[in-house]
Amino acid sequence: MVRVSGRRAGHRFDAKFGVVTEALLFLGELDPEAIGPSIAHATHYEPTPLGDLEALLAIVPFPIDATTFVDLGAGMGRALLLAARHPFSRIVGVEISPALCAIARDNLAAIDRASLRCGDVRIKLADARTYAFPRGALVVYLYNPFDATILRDVIDRLATRLDRIALIYHTPVERACIDAHPAFACVGETSAGAVYTSSRQNTANATSPSTMLAPHVASTPGQPNHSQPSPGNVDPKTAPT
């Protein structure tokens, strides 16, 4: 599979914005004592390839301007910086590693906020398993951050919400957990991942045409993106053993 982004592109991104996001890190080599037992379910840090998030956001079937973007397993924060090019009302990066949280906060402090369309971007040191999601509509992003044990807990909690939810799963190694869940339905895929919405939202759209919302079209500032993602196979980012 050909990716829009590679390590060279990642290094160029970092140099352009004065940040550090391009790395491949195993959490057990960083701060395992600080992470605790949840490290047994974590994968590794690898940044979202440039271009992948844009295509996945284009599938989200509702406007995002009153929506919170939550990245579970935010790592060094590249996905947060990419999401902040869009007019989300708030962006939250949830990361269990104190070391990665510190790097992500440094990146947020370093980047030129004038290049972002969302002014409220923050990092939260927390375990995704117990993290209290913000109220209101959500776009929840996952770049294969943990195994099925944690993923089941996360989607079970999201399933109880009445708010609009889009779940973006990049490199969906454990997608069977979501595909089998009665509260979520896949609404689109790219070669990088899949996008799900809650069944409550799907039912409302199917039964009330007058309330259907136009899908969000992902774009960078001043550069609308009218391309449509095409389905494809996923190239998994496998978890370390």
Domain of residue 128: give its range: 7-211
Residue 61 lies in a domain: yes
Residue at 2 is within a domain: no
Query: What CA–CA distance (Å, rounded) separates 25 from 99?
Result: 11
Residue 92: name the closest of 77, 107, 109 by CA: 77
- Does any domain span residue 1? no
Q: What CATH number does the domain containing 200 carry?
A: 3.40.50.150
Q: Could you tell me the sign of the dihedral formed by the alpha carbons of 25, 30, 34, 37, in that order?
A: positive
- 153 in any annotated domain: yes
Give the residue among 237, 179, 191, 177 at the shortest CA–CA distance from 43.
Answer: 237
Q: Is residue 73 part of a domain?
A: yes
Residue of 47, 43, 44, 45 lying closest to 10 (CA atoms): 47
Task: Tell whether 111 is covered by a domain.
Answer: yes
The CA distance from 144 to 161, in Å, is: 22
Total number of domains in the chain: 1
The residues with which 72 forms a beta bridge, in sequence order, are 94, 142
Provide the pLDDT for residue 200: 65
Tokens 């509702």, residue located: 62
pLDDT at 221: 46
Among 147, 131, 167, CA closest to 236: 147
CA–CA dist 122, 93 (Å, integer):
6
Whether 66 is in a domain gets the answer yes
- The model's pTM is 0.80
Query: Are the beta carbons of 83 and 141 closer than 8 angstroms?
Result: yes
Residue 45: predicted pLDDT: 82
pLDDT-flagged residues of the chain (< 70)? 1-6, 28, 32-34, 36, 38-41, 199-241
**Is residue 218 assigned to a domain?**
no
